[in-house]
Amino acid sequence: MIKNILFVYNQVSKKEKRGIFRECTLIEEIEVITQALRETGNRIFNLDLFTPEQLEKFVISCSPVDLAFVLAEGYKGLPHTLYNGQGAALVRKQLNKYGIPCSLSSIESMEFCRNKDLTYTKLKEKNILVPEYFVFDTHKRFNRDKILYLVKKIGFPLMVKPAGGGDSIGITPKSVVHNLQELKNRFISLKKELGRERLIMEKYLPGREYTVGVLGNRNKKYILPIIGFPENHGIRYTSTKNKESKMRDKLKIIYLGDERFTKLAQIAINTFDAVMADDVIRIDLKEDESGHIYVIDVNGTPALHRKSSLAFMASHLGINHNKLIKLVFFESVIRNNLIPNNLLEEMLAEVHIKLATYYNFQYFEETII
């Protein structure tokens, strides 16, 4: 039976949560998540992760560890690991060296999800629609003729974003470019902000955007109520995401039984399997001008704070934030063939009834046959 849990994260103050530290979690949110984990009856060891050396010493000091609940995107002392697409996988590789299983998806899955070009490759292999795109390294010279050749295959407007990381790092209203000069300006700006990183230049999709939360594992998955953003919402970046929690009355909640739910949920299920995800992921999708739905991002380490999209989705099933954290933790415990204590199972009994009644994937499959 599990007992010792290592909680690994990157925490920041409100003042610090910007720029390359955008993906880190606020101190007060870490405290709330810690409390939810403590209520499971396990001993929680907290680590605000800075360096690999720090993690190594900490693991040794609190050994044995049964499971690591990992929200860390990388190492704060090595800031580039927070956004270059490598951090989430590196942390898990280090923990695996000590035989410590981790929450959320595997090393391989994190490498897929945290690198958008790899995400798109995996999805295309499964015939899941993704925007037309090409990848360009900022360490290379902006070759006008070469870029123009690549752009002609797709056409303007283009969405330009970092290939690695997530949470809108490097994305602003200027990320949508309409000509070669705007593209060059964005290229130069991202190179200054992030250094030598790969960029995704993809066909901009003008239609409505959705985000879908998937909980579970490869055998049984639960789809939370889906969020549809207003049609005139534009691109979602740091500023608009910060405002979304205050404008949720304008968001469309799509439930089971809605025709769109069936379509979006099936794409999400296929995506979950394609990137070999576990426990929980959040998938962003967008329509083109003809209404075809494309996957534009897969979040292998989705935000789990109180104002997160996942918490908002869960609330529409009557599952509060505290229970959501326990549910993700429970999924990690079960997947790693560990034995949860009776207290945790009792706490989640009502939650599992709600999920099974309305959003059990086996039931969902029956509704689309």
What pLDDT, in 10s, does the model give residues 254-309? Answer: 998 899 999 999 999 999 999 999 999 999 999 999 999 999 999 999 999 999 99
Contacts of 140 (CB under 8 A, 6+ apart): none
What angle is formed at CA 368 by the lines to CA 363 and CA 369, rounded to 5 degrees?
100
CB 56 within 8 A of CB 75: no
Is 190's pLDDT higher than 70?
Answer: yes
CB 307 within 8 A of CB 17: no
Structure confidence at residue 30 (pLDDT): 98
Is 227's pLDDT higher than 80?
Answer: yes
Tell me the pLDDT band of 357, cut-offs 50, 70 and 90: low
Is 165's pLDDT higher than 90?
Answer: no
Structure confidence at residue 167 (pLDDT): 58
What whole-number percentage of the chain has pLDDT above 90?
A: 74
Is 360's pLDDT higher than 60?
Answer: no
Structure confidence at residue 168 (pLDDT): 66
CB 328 within 8 A of CB 103: yes
- Determine the average pLDDT of the residues in 174-188: 93
Structure confidence at residue 365 (pLDDT): 52
Is 369's pLDDT higher than 50?
Answer: no
Q: Is the peptide bond before 64 cis (omega within 30 degrees of 0)?
A: yes
The DSSP result for 96-143, as a single string, is HHTT--BSSS-HHHHHHHTBHHHHHHHHHHTT-----EEEEETTS---
d(CA 327, CA 43): 17
Is 37's pLDDT higher than 90?
Answer: yes
Least confident of 46-60, 218-232, 353-367: 353-367
Q: Is the pTM of this model over 0.75?
A: yes
Is 218's pLDDT higher than 90?
Answer: no
- Determine the average pLDDT of the residues in 162-175: 80
- Output the CA torsion sign for 250, 256, 258, 262: positive
Is 192's pLDDT higher than 60?
Answer: yes
Structure confidence at residue 231 (pLDDT): 84
Structure confidence at residue 363 (pLDDT): 47
The per-residue pLDDT of the chain, averaged, comes to: 91
Structure confidence at residue 364 (pLDDT): 52
- Identify the bridge partners of residue 294 per DSSP, sorted by sequence position: 286
d(CA 202, CA 219): 33
Tokens of 204: 């901009």
Is 361's pLDDT higher than 70?
Answer: no
Q: Which residue has the higher pLDDT, 45 or 140?
A: 45
Tell me the pLDDT band of 169, cut-offs 50, 70 and 90: confident
Residue for token pair 């009856």 = 41
Is 368's pLDDT higher than 50?
Answer: no
Is 233's pLDDT higher than 70?
Answer: yes
Q: Is the peptide bond before 157 cis (omega within 30 degrees of 0)?
A: yes
Each residue's pLDDT tens digit, 48-103: 999 999 999 999 999 899 999 999 999 999 999 998 889 999 999 999 999 999 99
